[in-house]
A and B are shown apart, each in its own frame.
Chain A
Amino acid sequence: MEFIGGKLLQVVIALAVFAAIIGLIMLVVDKAPKSSRDKLTVIGFLAPAAILMLVGLVYPAIQTSFFAFTDAKGQPNGVDNFVWMFTQPEALVTLRNTIVWTVLVPLLSTGFGLAYAVFIDKARGEKVLKALVFMPMAISFVGAGIIWKLVYDYRGPGIEQTGVLNFLRVAMGMQPKQFLLDAPENTIFLIIVMVWIQTGFAMVVLSAAIKGVPTELVEAARLDGANPWQQFRNVTIPGIRGALVVVLTTITIATLKVFDIVRTMTAGNYDTSVVANEMYTQAFRAGEPGRGAALALVLFLLVLPIVVYNARVLRQQREIR
């Protein structure tokens, strides 16, 4: 109890300090002479966020870029880390897996999400059907990893199966399978977990976008004799293009960073490692911060174009409206 009380007090104090600092900034800004008040207002409100960004984001990013060119002892070693990344077999497997993940997860999640959104559109019990698919979104990646590990669980032939999938396989007269041990298909079994989580997100966003397509357009297309597929292809898809891009890019970025699922389910063993997982392993387990930083840098460069593209599409959309 004493412990909880102490923490509570800390929270209250922290909130009070925060409120006081904001109040002080407002007061300073308010006191400033009229001529420079606008400038001061902008600086006053942006400065805290900007300082935090500098300390928490920009500085570490620069430091990481610097680390990427050093060895385990912190001595500069040129591009050795990048040579390692693109020549060592296990590092290449990591890159290959990351590519497979970033191609499959966004396409499958968006595909399933879109199909589901279209099929349940205006269906009876739409809300319930939506909630069912959206629910995995509420589960953390680690939680999902543990759940699916149980689903893939393996016991030898003749021993009672504890995993759902192997139970079904045995019931159908097949041999149980070590889902997580056999490369390369084990990567697919991990990808399924991510798709399971992300489909709900894609479905909700796309469903909202579909409802935003003007009914007049759909009706006009129907009057012109377009069949449902043609309506979907020529009216709905162009109508939700912006939402599709946002969904695809958001899921792609999440997929590039995927770490928890791999960490909890295989820890990167059995040829299932991905860049984010390898980054952690190299930096914190193997004592090779340079290699970890190099992987982080590559990950950053992979995400960057997608973020830029995402931002551009969003801006174009705003201009159209």
Chain B
Amino acid sequence: MKNRNYLLPVASIGVLALSLTACSGSTGGTASSGSAANTDCAAYSSYGKHDGKTVSVYSTIVDIEATNLEAAWAPFEKCTGITVKYEGSKEFETQIGVRAKAGNAPDVAIFPQPGLMADQARAGNLKEAPKAVSDLVDKNWSADWKKYGTVDGKFYTAPMLANVKGYVWYAPKTFKAKGWEVPKTWDEMLTLSKKIADDKAMKPWCAGFESGEATGWPGTDWIEDVVLRAEGPEVYDQWVSHQIPFNDAKIVKAFDKTGEILLNQGFVNGGFGDVRSILTTGFAQAGQPVLDGQCAMHHQANFQAANWPQGTVVAPEGDVWAFMTPPIDASRGESITGGGEMVGAYKDTPEVQAYLAYMASADFANNRVKLGGVISANKGLDPNNAQSELDKQSVKLLQDPKTVFRFDGSDLMPGAVGSNSFWKGIVTWINGTPSQQVADTIEASWPKS
């Protein structure tokens, strides 16, 4: 029995060793080489050589979009020697805060909402962007875009990709057959709606705001478009930054103006029922009746292109096409709302800085947009790299210096409003609560600071 004494220490060491190996188990890196094999590295020399270094990147982007993203930075990886360890998660919005707090932040995070980024910057987690990135953003983006990456006067994040909201989708064939013209102003759009409604063949509009726990967000896009077009960018900025209250008369007026379409039983909801059926119609299916000839128009961002059934031709003469929600006050010129991602860093090592500079460059924008499905507001982007007619048009709109661009307001507002009470407010509004009362409730939910 004596010789069993060695068992305990040996067993202890064994257990310790086992648990250590379990902890170091990696989840497997990504090998994204792709077309990098025949890349000309001369264009990437300015980023320097960082052999054996890794940069971890965390974002909301998953599936095919993630694959394309990784493909877009593959040449950068090959030429600089940096390995980009990418991780995409649908839980990003809640997880990024938790991870930062727990000391487990990624090197780089791609934020879908400036509000969320600002929280991280104010908490002292984000590093200020290096000068090289700041210069690139000055060169490649409008001042508005730079503002979205700036918190309390310090510049943190460069914009990455963009989407354009406020498109009105329609079937060109139907318009042609009925002799309808694409409206140039809001009033023309209302007149057209009335004409279609009187025609009785179809409802002028179809809409769907159902999106699980985020139900209501397509409605916030409507309100934002109307505020920007009716009141102009100054009021819009005051509204999203709470310099005027949410229940200001101008905002309530915008609700009422939107209601002229959305709350009009005669105008909605083609293919689905009455006004309230907007709430139970999924946003991705809501546009379908445009193709079936049950409604004429559908308000949704450029990414609606992906919601049409397979084989639908998106082109000016195709099955569906889109015009930008027209100006309300024509003298103000073209205004658009949209969204985009912002790239921010939790570390300021040389390899991270090199990566940030690449992501802010025109090279990245061109590489990524070439792969299709997305656009960017980067002025260095060649519009011809956009893969669809609509994307080309959107890029031109974004790059046009005359275009007034404003970021999606609900993404800029504090989370308590932008991703909670504003959505809920839209839901109760469609369900019959008067505009003033809805605006009052949302105003009451604005966090006291």
Q: Which residues of A contact B (CB under 8 A)?
A: 2-3, 6, 9-10, 13-14, 16-17, 20-21, 23-24, 27-28, 31, 72, 153-157, 159, 176, 178, 180-181, 263-264, 267, 269-270, 281, 284-288
Among B22, B215, B445, which residue has its beta carbon within 8 angstroms of that of A267? B215
| CB-CB under 8 A for A28 and B8, given A3-B28, A6-B28, A159-B273 | yes
Residues in A with CB closer than 8 Å to B215 are 267, 269
Tell me if A156 and B277 are in contact (CB < 8 A): yes
Interface size, B (range) = 35 or more
B213 at the interface (CB under 8 A from A): yes
| CB-CB under 8 A for A159 and B271, given A13-B22, A263-B213 | yes
| CB-CB under 8 A for A13 and B21, given A27-B7, A285-B420 | yes
Query: Measured between alpha carbons, how far is A286 from B271 in the docked complex, in Å?
Result: 34
B82 at the interface (CB under 8 A from A): no
Query: Measured between alpha carbons, how far is A288 from B419 in the docked complex, in Å?
Result: 13
Tell me if A72 and B22 are in contact (CB < 8 A): no
Tell me if A24 and B11 are in contact (CB < 8 A): yes
Shortest beta-carbon contacts, A-B, top 4: A156-B273, A267-B213, A20-B15, A286-B416
Tell me if A178 and B25 are in contact (CB < 8 A): no
Question: Told that A14-B22, A27-B7 touch, could you supply 18 new A-B pairs with CB distance under 8 A?
Answer: A13-B18, A13-B21, A17-B15, A20-B15, A20-B18, A24-B15, A27-B11, A28-B8, A153-B280, A159-B273, A181-B276, A181-B431, A267-B212, A267-B215, A269-B279, A270-B431, A285-B415, A287-B447
Among A10, A72, A159, A264, which residue has its beta carbon within 8 angstroms of that of B25? A10
B3 at the interface (CB under 8 A from A): no
B372 at the interface (CB under 8 A from A): no
Residues in B with CB closer than 8 Å to A156 are 269, 272-274, 277
Among B12, B22, B416, which residue has its beta carbon within 8 angstroms of that of A10? B22
| CB-CB under 8 A for A154 and B424, given A13-B22, A286-B445 | no
Tell me if A21 and B15 are in contact (CB < 8 A): yes
Residues in B with CB closer than 8 Å to A28 are 8
| CB-CB under 8 A for A27 and B28, given A13-B22, A156-B274, A286-B445 | no
Q: Separation in Å of the B428 CB from the closest CB of chain A?
A: 8
Residues in B with CB closer than 8 Å to A157 are 273
The closest CB in chain B to the CB of A88 belongs to B444
Tell me if A6 and B271 are in contact (CB < 8 A): no
Q: Separation in Å of the A14 CB from the closest CB of chain B?
A: 6
| CB-CB under 8 A for A287 and B273, given A13-B22, A181-B431 | no
Query: Measured between alpha carbons, how far is A155 from B277 in the docked complex, in Å?
Result: 7
Tell me if A31 and B424 are in contact (CB < 8 A): no
Residues in A with CB closer than 8 Å to B48 are none
B94 at the interface (CB under 8 A from A): yes
B166 at the interface (CB under 8 A from A): no
Q: Which residues of B contact A (CB under 8 A)?
A: 7-8, 11-12, 14-15, 18-19, 21-22, 25-28, 94, 212-216, 269, 271-274, 276-277, 279-280, 414-416, 419-421, 424, 427-428, 431, 445, 447
A and B contact pairs by CB, cutoff 8 A, 13 listed: A3-B28, A6-B28, A9-B25, A10-B22, A13-B18, A13-B25, A16-B18, A24-B11, A154-B280, A269-B424, A269-B427, A270-B431, A286-B420
Tell me if A155 and B25 are in contact (CB < 8 A): no
Residues in B with CB closer than 8 Å to A176 are 273
| CB-CB under 8 A for A181 and B280, given A27-B7, A284-B94 | yes
Tell me if B22 and A2 are in contact (CB < 8 A): no
Tell me if A287 and B18 are in contact (CB < 8 A): no
Tell me if B213 and A178 are in contact (CB < 8 A): no
Among A17, A23, A178, A180, which residue has its beta carbon within 8 angstroms of that of B22? A17
Query: Measured between alpha carbons, how far is A154 from B447 in the docked complex, in Å?
Result: 36
Query: Measured between alpha carbons, how far is A3 from B244 in the docked complex, in Å?
Result: 52
Tell me if B18 and A286 are in contact (CB < 8 A): no
Residues in A with CB closer than 8 Å to B216 are 269
Q: Separation in Å of the B20 CB from the closest CB of chain A?
A: 10
Tell me if A287 and B7 are in contact (CB < 8 A): no
Query: Measured between alpha carbons, how far is A46 from B213 in the docked complex, in Å?
Result: 41
Tell me if A287 and B25 are in contact (CB < 8 A): no
Residues in B with CB closer than 8 Å to A155 are 272-273, 277
Residues in B with CB closer than 8 Å to A21 are 15, 19
Q: Separation in Å of the A283 CB from the closest CB of chain B?
A: 10
Tell me if B28 and A287 are in contact (CB < 8 A): no
Q: Separation in Å of the A154 CB from the closest CB of chain B?
A: 6
Among B14, B22, B416, which residue has its beta carbon within 8 angstroms of that of A288? B416
Tell me if B25 and A17 are in contact (CB < 8 A): no
Query: Measured between alpha carbons, how far is A287 from B419 in the docked complex, in Å?
Result: 10
Query: Measured between alpha carbons, how far is A31 from B416 in the docked complex, in Å?
Result: 58
Query: Measured between alpha carbons, how far is A270 from B15 in the docked complex, in Å?
Result: 55
Q: Separation in Å of the A245 CB from the closest CB of chain B?
A: 36
Residues in B with CB closer than 8 Å to A16 are 18
